Amino acid sequence: MYYVYILQCNNGTLYTGITTDVERRFNEHQRGIGSNYTRSNGAHRIVYVEKQKNRSAASKREAAIKKLSRKSKLALFQK
């Protein structure tokens, strides 16, 4: 099982990624061994998680989310 997730960074920006283990990946982001973006901006909290059946589906969904405006991303988890 793969997951698409959105993190809120320490500076308020949003980071989108995919993983097989959301908690492990979040811990990596917090320790600075995640991505270059979260290494620079910190990982504050997980704000959105979505299950996907395989890596291909997760990658496609991640790409679609990354194309969304900030307002549309916020609408995913602020209901």
The 10s digit of each residue's pLDDT in 43-74 is: 999 999 999 999 999 999 999 999 999 999 99
* Domain coordinates in residue numbering, the chain: 2-77
This prediction has a pTM of: 0.94
Q: Which fold does the domain 2-77 belong to in CATH? A: GIY-YIG endonuclease (3.40.1440)
5 has a pLDDT exceeding 70 = yes
Cα 10 from Cα 75, distance rounded (Å)? 20
Q: Under 8 Å CB-to-CB from 77, ≥6 apart: which residues?
A: 6, 47, 48
